[in-house]
Amino acid sequence: MFRSLREYIANLDEDIRAPEPLYEERLAVCKGCELLLEGMCRSCGCYVELRAAVAKNICPRKKW
């Protein structure tokens, strides 16, 4: 499943994908969050890698 997520992210259009430094920064925040469980956000149920990869997305808890 995670390979499919990474393939999806890699194939996102450049105009909607978050720049790599921003993506990594977002993931770092998520990794430190108490609501992260096996790659999923327990606040909203998303896969954090997908949410972080799209530039316009925001954290449901306003952490990024």
Predicted local confidence at residue 2, as pLDDT: 58
Q: Please give the Cα distance from 12 to 29 (Å, whole number).
A: 22
Whether residue 60 lies inside any domain: the answer is no
Counting the structural domains of the chain, the total is 1
For residue 26, being part of any structural domain is answered with yes
In a domain, 61, yes or no: no
C-alpha–C-alpha distance, residues 41 and 34, integer Å: 9
Domain around 21: 2-53
In the chain, which stretches have pLDDT less than 70?
1-2
Inside any domain, residue 64: no
Give the pLDDT score at 17: 97
Residue 59 located in a structural domain? no
Residue 6: predicted pLDDT: 86
63 within some domain = no
In order of 11, 13, 19, 64, the CA distances from 44 in angstroms are: 24, 24, 23, 14
Coil, helix or strand for 60? coil
